[in-house]
């Protein structure tokens, strides 16, 4: 029999704050009522702030980030179009797979799992594309499988230096509302996220931010789509409605999540994620273990993918943590299965939660056969948190 709290330390779905959960506990309501826009119109404005865009158009599709991927592709590209992508983790791999299934010609650059987007190789291939055959460049901003964050701004810079007019797609599923993301400043045309990560909600919303350039492409794109049709969505979103039944409870929760982000301040949210992540990383280093990410400039502030020692099965670490200590850690995906476990540190997190994650991981590692000194990781993280004061919030969240 399990007692007490079950701890969730996976990189998504993330912990749902109690006030958000309560906000979703509302009766069903008429999504065609004349006052429904009172709830929804403010959500579009709030999400524009999170994506840091003044000119982008926000769309929310019932579904997940994967659904938003498909919406982005099918509304802006044509069958046979060439696109440039890099594959360096399970989620960038899945994006390549989707593009191929949808009939695109994918120019794939494979790099080691632990590396980031190969900016210099992107520059070389874009510079060689004198006929502008490449219609879109895809960037996985934060590769959740490997704990790697790539430089989107650098990709935009090389596109501009090559005078290349391709659309820039960004997977921000595990970065938006957690890691610095600037749609307008970086010239992103289609940015994708989901409700279950930095927005601190259950899964169920695939969210897109779309530039005017991408909207113009959607008016001429010939790829087949129905449910994900941009024009249907935009026509009704103007007044706060949807072309099909929306998940109203999630929209109420999103209102509260956006309020919390605004109260803390987006810059402070991003700084908090960095501070908490650095404490976790120092704890991992104190164990004598390494991250999958090849260099500290690539370290993700939302998830750490940890290599277990030789002779230790990461799946056993995860099993012990779950069965014996009521804690969920992320598994190693695909080629990293059994070699890696992941600690998610995004969304509604604080120092105590990160220290708990480290302490439970220490016990699971030792039981699985790892030579880890009890308290070493916790002490290293404590030292970091105690000597690095947290940023001041714009207003107290308790005022809600």
Q: Are 250 and 202 in contact (CB under 8 A)?
A: yes
CB atoms within 10 A of CB 197: 28
Q: pLDDT per residue over 100-147, tens digit each?
A: 999 999 999 999 999 999 999 999 999 999 999 999 999 999 999 999
**Of all residues in the chain, what percent are helix, strand and coil, respectively (each to 5)?**
40, 15, 40
Q: Are 11 and 303 in contact (CB under 8 A)?
A: yes
DSSP 204: E
Residue spans of the domains in the chain: they are 7-13+266-387, 18-262
Residue 399's pLDDT is what? 36
- Residue 6, judged by CB atoms within 10 A of its CB (0-12, 13-18, 19+), counts as exposed
Q: Is the pLDDT assigned to residue 390 strictly greater than 90?
A: no
Confidence class for position 92, pLDDT limits 50, 70, 90: very high
Q: pLDDT per residue over 44-81, tens digit each?
A: 999 999 999 999 999 999 999 999 999 999 999 999 99
Q: Establish whether domains 7-13+266-387 and 18-262 are of one fold.
A: no
Q: Is the pLDDT assigned to residue 400 strictly greater than 60?
A: no
Confidence class for position 398, pLDDT limits 50, 70, 90: very low
CB atoms within 10 A of CB 52: 19
- Rounded to the nearest integer, the mean pLDDT of the chain is 96
- Residue 290, judged by CB atoms within 10 A of its CB (0-12, 13-18, 19+), counts as middle
Contacts by residues 294-300 (CB-CB < 8 Å, ≥ 24 positions apart): 294/112, 294/114, 294/115, 294/148, 298/114, 298/115, 298/116, 298/148, 298/149, 298/150, 299/147, 299/148, 299/149, 300/142, 300/143, 300/144, 300/147, 300/148, 300/149, 300/174, 300/179
Of the candidate CATH numbers 3.40.50.10170, 3.40.50.300, 3.90.1150.10, 3.10.20.600, the domain formed by 7-13+266-387 belongs to 3.90.1150.10
Nearest to 285 by CA among 197, 195, 373, 164: 373
DSSP 136: E
- Classify domain 18-262 at the CATH class level: alpha beta
Residue 395's pLDDT is what? 41
Q: Are 189 and 211 in contact (CB under 8 A)?
A: yes
φ and ψ at residue 44, rounded to 5 degrees? -60, -40
Q: pLDDT per residue over 28-43, tens digit each?
A: 999 999 999 999 999 9
CA distance 236 to 231: 9
Confidence class for position 391, pLDDT limits 50, 70, 90: low
CA distance 83 to 36: 39
CA distance 197 to 347: 6
Three-class SS state of 45: helix
């Amino acid at each position: 029999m399990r007692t007490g709290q079950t701890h969730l330390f996976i990189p998504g779905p993330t912990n749902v704050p109690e006030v958000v959960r309560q906000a979703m506990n509302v009766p069903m309501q008429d999504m065609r009522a004349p006052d429904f826009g009172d709830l929804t119109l403010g959500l579009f404005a709030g999400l524009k702030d999170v994506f840091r865009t003044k000119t982008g158009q926000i769309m929310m599709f019932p579904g997940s980030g994967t659904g938003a991927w498909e919406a982005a592709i099918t509304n802006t590209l044509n069958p046979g179009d060439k696109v440039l992508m890099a594959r360096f983790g399970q989620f960038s791999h899945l994006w390549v797979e989707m593009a191929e299934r949808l009939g695109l010609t994918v120019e794939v650059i494979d790099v080691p799992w632990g590396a980031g987007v190969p900016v210099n190789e992107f520059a070389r291939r874009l510079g060689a594309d004198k006929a502008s055959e490449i219609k879109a460049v895809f960037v996985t901003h934060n590769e959740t499988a490997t704990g790697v964050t790539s430089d989107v701004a650098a990709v935009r810079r090389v596109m501009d230096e090559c005078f290349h007019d391709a659309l820039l797609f960004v997977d921000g599923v595990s970065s938006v509302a957690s890691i610095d993301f600037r749609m307008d400043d970086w010239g992103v045309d289609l940015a994708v996220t989901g409700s279950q990560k930095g927005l601190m909600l259950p899964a169920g919303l695939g969210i897109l931010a779309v530039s005017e350039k991408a909207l113009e492409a959607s008016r001429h794109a010939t790829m087949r789509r129905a449910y994900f049709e941009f024009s249907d969505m935009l026509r009704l979103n103007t007044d706060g409605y949807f072309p099909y039944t929306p998940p109203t409870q999630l929209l109420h929760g999103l209102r509260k999540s956006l309020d919390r982000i605004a109260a803390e301040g987006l810059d402070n949210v991003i700084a908090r994620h960095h501070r908490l992540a650095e404490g976790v990383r120092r704890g991992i280093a104190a164990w004598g273990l390494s991250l999958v990410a090849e260099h500290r400039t690539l370290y993700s502030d939302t998830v750490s993918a940890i290599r277990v020692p030789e002779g230790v099965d990461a799946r056993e670490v995860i099993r012990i943590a779950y069965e014996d200590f009521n804690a969920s850690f992320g598994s190693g995906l695909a080629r990293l299965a059994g070699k890696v476990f992941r600690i998610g540190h995004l969304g509604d997190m604080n120092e105590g939660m990160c220290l708990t994650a480290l302490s439970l991981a220490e016990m699971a590692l030792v039981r699985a056969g790892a030579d880890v000194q009890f308290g070493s990781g916790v002490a290293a993280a404590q030292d970091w948190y105690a000597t690095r004061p947290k940023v001041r919030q714009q207003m107290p969240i308790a005022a809600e």
